[in-house]
Homo-oligomer: A and B are copies of this chain.
């Protein structure tokens, strides 16, 4: 339970991380804690106590064993809103911290069969994040109403997911996953500086690909390049790598063996 005056409820004013727990181990916990710290800094919130979060995560897993994959979500809001003076925080309360763990849904079908996606206009250009840090484009905040609206807009267009684009024609991200594409033999992903959430799973994936001697690149990807890619995946912590079989109504190449290789790499990752 949280108070209804909690800023997390009143203003979506807080941060979170969701990670996967496989075989009783948290996946990429260090990467998630890194991003949690970055998000806190972007929102001018107190720096999370890394050691405490680390041990709380391990304790939650210990106390909630499961023979299935689990997801673990932790979040911190700014605390209680002042009733006397809304938009300020009541100094008598600290931040509100919540952690929970549950069995994850199965995403085997999505990983095996793939999903369809459409491009949706983000309304902003590729330079917006650099010019306007107050847009919090790289922070994982509790203010997710637009992410939800984007997912609904994709559904209204008969697609499973939306991939956001900039007004100058570049690829951003999906509503809760990172875009990875195989273009001319190189695994490509948009650089986070374009104003997307830096994907922890994408980082793990590229580390694994680099270790295997595959070519990887972080940089601008145009919509046309994505349409012509030899493979497109949406990558996230719990659903992991899901191939996009259709983009804006046109078929994309799918390569089940590559998808299995990417997911094996993600399932095997540790910190």
Which residues of A does B touch, CB under 8 Å?
1-6, 8-14, 16, 18, 42-44, 71, 73, 75, 77, 83-87, 98, 100, 102-103, 105, 120-125, 128-129, 131-137, 139, 141-153, 162, 167, 176, 195
Contact = CB atoms under 8 A, between A and B. Distances in A.
A218 to B, nearest CB: 21
Given A9-B142, A123-B125, A142-B145, 13 more contacts: A9-B98, A12-B144, A12-B145, A13-B145, A83-B102, A87-B148, A121-B131, A122-B132, A123-B124, A134-B153, A136-B146, A139-B145, A141-B145
A195 B8 CA distance: 25
B144 A13 contact: yes
B2 A145 contact: no
How many copies, total? Answer: 2
A8 B124 CA distance: 26
A66 B139 CA distance: 41
Contact of A102 (B14, B84, B143): B84
A141 B145 CA distance: 7
A121 B137 CA distance: 13
Nearest to A81: B73
Contacts of A132: 120-123
Question: Which of A42, A134, A148: most chain B Cβ within 10 A?
Answer: A134
A217 to B, nearest CB: 25
Contact of A1 (B4, B103, B149): B4
A151 B1 contact: no
Contacts of A77: 9
Nearest to A162: B134
B86 A43 contact: no
B105 A83 contact: no
